[in-house]
Amino acid sequence: MSAPLHTALAAISDELIALRHDIHRWPEPGFEEVRTQAAIMAALSEAGLSPRACAGTGVVVDIGSGDGPCLALRADIDCLRMTEANPHLPYRSERDGLAHMCGHDGHTATLVGAGILLAGVEDRLPGRIRLLFQPAEEGPGGAPVMIEAGCLEGVDEVYGMHNWPAAPLGALRTISGPCMATVAEMSITVTGKGVHASQPQDGQDPVLAAAHIVTALQSIISRNVHYQDRCVVSVTTIHGGEAFNVIPDTVTMSGTIRALSEESYDLITARIEAVATGTATAMGCSAQVLINRMYPVLVNTPKETALVESVARAVFGTVSDELLPMLGAEDFAFFLQHRPGCFFFLGGGESGRSNAICHATNYDYNDNLIDIGVRFWLKLIEARMDVALFT
Ligand SMILES: [Zn+2]
Ligand SMILES: [Zn+2]
């Protein structure tokens, strides 16, 4: 029997935190994760594994050669295009406009840790583990590119983890079925006829039409969607005009659509088209609606979700579906379109920390969650493969 898990984990804990801080300090956005990819590959190679590049800046590594199930575990590795406001952090981002404000630095270090420990017990694995280090989760979406490159070939199930800063440290949250929303970006161009602002009767005012459209769009969720269905339509930008005394020719708007089912999504997009064009026509203008679907609904499968929940109950004691499903989106949804699996959240909240939410400028991954995450990955593998890899 190998070393106890806590001993093996304690031996690499500092290394994993250092790796997390290094990735945090040098953040890279979608499909530009060159340095991050090299750091992941170096750590895995050092452990005796044979990582390979996938989808440009992603990494895939296989561990074990048993005939048992092949489980894929995924971490996202990209940063956000935003500026960090954590002046107290010695490892704060060195790159203006780029920062790990969603914790993908922590997810990456955690999965590297699982890889290092699995390398030491590789010959005891009854099946195979494939680690997926995925680029571009924050956009434009690295998951479909990795799938296209064959990362799920031979894989039976796929699992993904995300931190949840507001939940207590180590508390697991997940739900079977729809867990996160499909997301689309909408843009609407309202065209009228510009004119001197003192002579509105001679023009067609796209500003007034746009204002009515913004208001009318809010009827879709309240009047058309079933009251039990959680959806969102938000207009988030609106631009038009240059001068206080000129009615402009056009106004452009953009926003987001979130839904938890294909049916709701189809209903909402059809209504947006009808409401925007109809309202514009009523105001003597025209509207062009463009909708760009980004990620599908993330749907966890029942058996794999039950496994994650049972392991979490045994390891942490706390499991809940509080605040789920949520209307955030995740490109892990693409993996679940191809294989059964489960996406789950681990709480990172602790007293004495800000516990700022993901995408906040003062967010920072909780280093204490790294050991917990590694432990959970290994316990999940042991439970699914019915094997004791560590004492
Ligand atoms: Zn994010
Ligand atoms: Zn994220």
pLDDT digits (tens, 9 = 90+) for 123-146: 999 999 999 999 999 999 999 999
Residues 15 and 141 in one domain: yes
Output the average pLDDT for the chain: 97
d(CA 293, ligand 1 centre) in Å: 17
How does pLDDT run across 339-378, given as a tens digit for each residue?
999 999 999 999 989 899 999 999 999 999 999 999 999 9
- Residues with Cβ < 8 Å from 66, sequence gap 6 or more? 125, 126, 127, 128
d(CA 253, ligand 2 centre) in Å: 26
d(CA 102, ligand 1 centre) in Å: 5
In the chain, the number of structural domains is 2
Residues 121 and 47 in one domain: yes
CA-CA distance, 311 to 306, in Å (whole number)?
9
Residue 164 domain-assigned (yes or no) = yes
CA of 139, nearest ligand number: 1
Residue 358 — φ and ψ, nearest 5°? Answer: -55, 140
Residue 290 domain-assigned (yes or no) = yes
- Residues with Cβ < 8 Å from 26, sequence gap 6 or more? 35, 36, 93, 94, 95
pLDDT value for 318 = 83
Residue 390 domain-assigned (yes or no) = no
Residues 20 and 81 in one domain: yes
CA of 161, nearest ligand number: 2
CA of 76, nearest ligand number: 2
d(CA 208, ligand 1 centre) in Å: 35
CA of 82, nearest ligand number: 1
Residues 269 and 235 in one domain: yes
Residues 11 and 149 in one domain: yes
Residues 59 and 107 in one domain: yes
| Domain housing 314 | 5-180+297-385
pLDDT value for 388 = 95
Residues lining ion ligand 2 (Cβ < 5 A) are 102
Residues 81 and 174 in one domain: yes
CB atoms within 10 A of CB 323: 12
| Whole-model pTM over 0.75 | yes
pLDDT value for 3 = 76
Given a cut of 70, whether residue 1 has pLDDT beyond it is no
Question: Given pLDDT bands bounded at 50, 70 and 90, which one contains residue 215?
Answer: very high
Residues 242 and 157 in one domain: no
pLDDT value for 316 = 83
Given a cut of 70, whether residue 94 has pLDDT beyond it is yes
Residues 24 and 159 in one domain: yes
In which region does residue 9 sit, left (phi positive, over 0), alpha (psi from -120 to 50) or beta (all else)?
A: alpha
Average of pLDDT values for 75-93? 97
Residue 336 domain-assigned (yes or no) = yes
Beta strands in the chain (DSSP E): 52-54, 58-63, 70-76, 128-134, 157-168, 172-173, 177-180, 182-191, 195-196, 232-240, 246-247, 250-259, 286-295, 298-300, 319-320, 341-349
Residues 72 and 145 in one domain: yes
How does pLDDT run across 305-324, given as a tens digit for each residue?
999 999 999 988 889 999 99
Question: Given pLDDT bands bounded at 50, 70 and 90, which one contains residue 270?
Answer: very high
Average of pLDDT values for 81-97? 97
CA of 359, nearest ligand number: 1
Query: Looking at 294, 329, 364, which one is the last position of a domain?
Result: 294
CA of 106, nearest ligand number: 2
Given a cut of 80, whether residue 191 has pLDDT beyond it is yes
Q: Is 314 helix (H, G, I), strand (E, B) or coil?
A: helix
d(CA 100, ligand 2 centre) in Å: 9
Residues 139 and 190 in one domain: no
pLDDT value for 2 = 65
Residues 98 and 192 in one domain: no
Query: Looking at 251, 276, 294, which one is the last position of a domain?
Result: 294
d(CA 122, ligand 1 centre) in Å: 32
Query: Looking at 261, 294, 327, which one is the last position of a domain?
Result: 294
CA-CA distance, 223 to 216, in Å (whole number)?
11
